[in-house]
Structure 1
């Protein structure tokens, strides 16, 4: 059992995103869905990710397409970005990940809608700072642990 959920909520996985992944519960808010999608990417739960796309966004998308480069990525940290400009159907986040020991950030404002009473991801707007990060070994870790990068997330790469 994972101590903390992959979505960086500080809750145990079994009490956070696991009930959504198993189908026992549905995410009650766009943020809960966003967090559960991030956690699903961490554990490579492609059926869940595909299911959480809105029907119109899911067209032509397959589990194999979602999994295509998954073995190359290590998901490191999720930060929800508070923004008063967002609607109740949007979530802004930064998802940090690594490929070949290089760190990247996916900074997106995601849009969600309800279908059959459940929240679904429709689309997202990437922010200009999305892309490769320059993090030195002695810089503060991107996961806000208070440790140096070399003593924290760098060990996971």
Structure 2
């Protein structure tokens, strides 16, 4: 029996079926770099490393393997995504985001400015530059939980 995912992992407010699933499954192309960024985050949550590899630019794709992607994220639990900015031109775009994740019992934030290119009729990830504030992160106990459960951190993942 298939499991229904109520809210998409990318945090866009839509269901998975309405948001990232059709992009990840190849039914539709990402309409812009932000949609691609959100689908890539969701693919990391789902450990869909083939999709992640397929959405690198052709220049970058030749230098990375599925096993490298899998190995680098083996103990990582991706929790939430905040897209901060999205700037798009005809064939290039930038998306600034913060991705929150956990490795064992330690929380981290990855603050990145990502570059995308429009190649062969699709948006593809080309490069990323880490921004100030990336690294270990200590959530406030009374803040909203990073997993988007709607609970306070201390009553959810911070227990």
TM normalised by structure 2 equals 0.88
Q: Does 1:154 align with 2:158?
A: yes
Map 1:9-48 to 2 at 5 A: 9-48=12-51
Q: Which of residues 92, 95, 116 in structure 2 aligns to 1:91?
A: 95
The equivalent residue for 1:125 is 129
How far apart, CA to CA, are the structure 1 residues paired with 2:152 and 2:50?
Answer: 36
Deviating above 4 A after TM superposition, structure 1's stretches of 4 or more consecutive aligned residues are none
TM normalised by structure 1 equals 0.89
Larger helix percent: 1
Map 1:38-117 to 2 at 5 A: 38-82=41-85, 86-88=87-89, 89-117=93-121
CA RMSD across the alignment: 1.8
> Structure 2, unaligned stretches of length 5 or more?
none
> Structure 1, unaligned stretches of length 5 or more?
none
What SS is found at the alignment partner of 1:82? Answer: strand
How far apart, CA to CA, are the structure 1 residues paired with 2:29 and 2:153?
Answer: 35
